[in-house]
Amino acid sequence: MKHALLIDLDGVLYQGAKVIPGALEAIRWIQNQSIPHLFITNTTSRPRRKIVEKLSGFGFDISEQSILTPPIAACEWLSENVTGETALFIPSSTREDFNSIPILKQGKISVVAVVLGDIGEEWTFSELNRAFTFLMEEPKPKLVALGMTRYWQTAKGLQLDVGPFVKALEYAASCEAVVLGKPSAQFFNAALRILHCEPSQAVMIGDDILGDVQGAQHAGIKGVLVRTGKFRSSDIDSGIHPDAIIDSIAGLPAWLDQN
């Protein structure tokens, strides 16, 4: 079997409103070569449908079924592991991806799970404290994190992601989050199940030395780091050793041919 590819989106295919040079050609090459692949992203700021629309606007021909997001993985996990209503701390635009599970009704104070995604500047003390209050109820709800990314690259610079807020709630409520996004092995394993492949057959391509590369390696998957997106030269000295470093995804076809 050829390598199965797990490919990050933001910082790998595009950054902000611009396509990474050579990304369109690289993805077309992968598709033309019929290489099994799945796009996996920690993006929770928009539903999967909107991610496809954004990619289409850049010129990519990528279907919803080719993308795994934390909300999709979280819905599957919640359906299988809890019974009852869930409190969502996610962007309102992403709520459509949670239509398959019971959501907290207005006025209710008891939930079986608290889901945290990246809501950016909508985070306030009041919102964080509301999540904390839910988590202090008995029986204690499950804390479900839509990834543990520390920060991401925006057009304005680096911005905090969901990870720091999850850590704050874990500490305050004395609980451990179920992480359904990178770098969780559970998330990578969900991607492998979709592709019907073993970890040793897969390669992760990403710009995040922790979430993409180290997360993949901990799941038994090779990790390839690209020098685009949030990549920083200090990543090289982080103590994490990618299986390969390429300038951008444009160099992926050549790397695959050689490996």
pLDDT digits (tens, 9 = 90+) for 210-236: 999 999 999 999 999 999 999 999 999
Q: How much is the pLDDT for 136? A: 96
With 0-12 CB in 10 A as exposed, 13-18 as middle and 19+ as buried, what is 176? Answer: exposed
Q: For the ranges 1-5, 6-10, 25-29, which has the lowest average pLDDT?
A: 1-5
Residue found by looking up tokens 């077309």 in the block: 28
Q: How much is the pLDDT for 3? A: 84
The pTM of this model reads 0.86
Question: Domain limits of the chain?
Answer: 4-42+182-258, 70-179
- pLDDT band of 1, cuts 50, 70, 90: low
Q: How much is the pLDDT for 107? A: 67
pLDDT digits (tens, 9 = 90+) for 174-209: 999 999 989 999 999 999 999 999 999 999 999 999
Instruction: Look at strands 14-15 and 18-19 and give their pairing.
Output: antiparallel
The mean pLDDT of 36-48, rounded to a whole number, is 93
The CATH code that applies to domain 70-179 is 3.40.50.1000
Helix-, strand-, coil-residue percentages of the chain, each rounded to 5: 40, 20, 40
CATH of 4-42+182-258, one of 3.40.30.10, 3.90.1150.10, 3.80.10.10, 3.40.50.1000: 3.40.50.1000
pLDDT digits (tens, 9 = 90+) for 96-138: 999 999 999 876 778 999 999 999 889 999 999 999 999 999 9
Rg (CA), the chain: 18
Residue 97 CA, distance from chain mean position: 14
